[in-house]
Amino acid sequence: MEPARRDLAGPRESAILSALIEQAYRQLPIALVVSLINALILTGVLWGGIRKTTLLIWLACLVSVTAFRFLNLRAFSNPQRRGRVEDAVWRRNFVAGACAAGIVWGGAGIALFHPTSFTHQVFLAFVLGGMVAGGVPLLSPLNRAYPCFAIPIVLPITFSMLVLGDRVHVIMGLMILVFGIAMLSSYARVQRLFREATDMRLRLASSLAEGSALQEMLRLDELTRIGNRRCFEEQLGSEWKRADRNRGTLAVISADVDYFKAYNDRYGHPAGDRCLVGVAQAMASALQRPGDAAARIGGEEFAFVLPQTTVLGAEKVAERIRKAVWDLNLPHESSPIAERVTVSLGVASSDHASVASPADLIRASDAALYEAKRKGRNQVATVAP
């Protein structure tokens, strides 16, 4: 049982990882913009208090790291390139970018730490604390990304405070350290929430897809893979309402394979099934509009729904269907009318005076089909005015 569970968990874990990677990269632009803005603000505030060369070198390092992360984001946003690279590589690149940014920001806790200006020290601690806190929701989707970012930031500024040794700076250093630990604890909870939410979302999407596929299967004829009676009735009801709303016309064609019982008796039921499959596909391919629907509603009985079609238009479609089956040239030596499989078709339209409901339309097309059979089969008949 354990190997089977691992096999089942593998694809799900892979899907969760892929979704978390996508979410992390989707949030990356916010992190890059905030990082640059805070860096510019910090540089402006410390300008004149810290050596300009040091400030510019630090800012250049941050811009370089941001550029690397931006290029990685741009590559991820390219569907073709993204498809050629494994998820593990994108995760590694994301974590590496977060780590590099954390190191540069952590470097500010030492390189930009003013030894005598308490105001500058507090402002620097405030900015670094803001970066640590802001990184929780932005970096939590991917494991290790946030710790690699936060720890290099917290430790240097804590060290700088503790080194000064006086009571106030020691307390501030310990407060920063406690704050960092609290943020790491929050990260663990947020990451778990991200993962659980992603897993639930994927499960829901999978359930919806399975439900949709099941509904589609329930509307398909198992043998011929065209619509079944349920599909036909749903389509007819929907198109009837639309035609009534728009004052349009709706046509229905009923069709039977001629002398199909004799075909089964001579060639056997497996051959009869193959015949129905071929006939169904030929008839469905004769429909040229996306809105037209073909269905198998019985053994050798078929029906077609033709929206926005007059009786004359439906007659042309029915003749095209009849010819498509004729052109299959399937042998039928037991047929008294031809040496190949043929179909008879009846046409009716909603613009007929006697048609006031979908049921009336079906009855009219069945009556026309009966007329086609009475006249000798292998032909199209239309309900009389």
The catalytic site residues sit at: 300
Strand-by-strand arrangement of the 250-257 sheet: 293-296, 301-307, 250-257, 343-349, 380-382
CA distance 46 to 79: 42
CA distance readout (Å), 248 to 235, 251, 294, 347:
15, 10, 20, 17
Whether 343 contacts 283, CB under 8 Å: yes
CA distance 161 to 253: 87
Closest among 375, 372, 373 to 383, alpha carbons compared? 372
Whether 344 contacts 379, CB under 8 Å: yes
CA distance 153 to 132: 7
Q: Which amino acid is at 144?
A: R
Closest among 197, 196, 187, 23 to 102, alpha carbons compared? 187
Whether 113 contacts 157, CB under 8 Å: yes
Helix ranges, 47-86 (H): 52-77, 79-84
> How does strand 380-382 pair with strand 343-349?
parallel
Whether 295 contacts 232, CB under 8 Å: yes
Kindly provide the residue ranges of all beta strands, DSSP E only, lying in the chain, ordered along the sequence.
Answer: 250-257, 293-296, 301-307, 343-349, 380-382
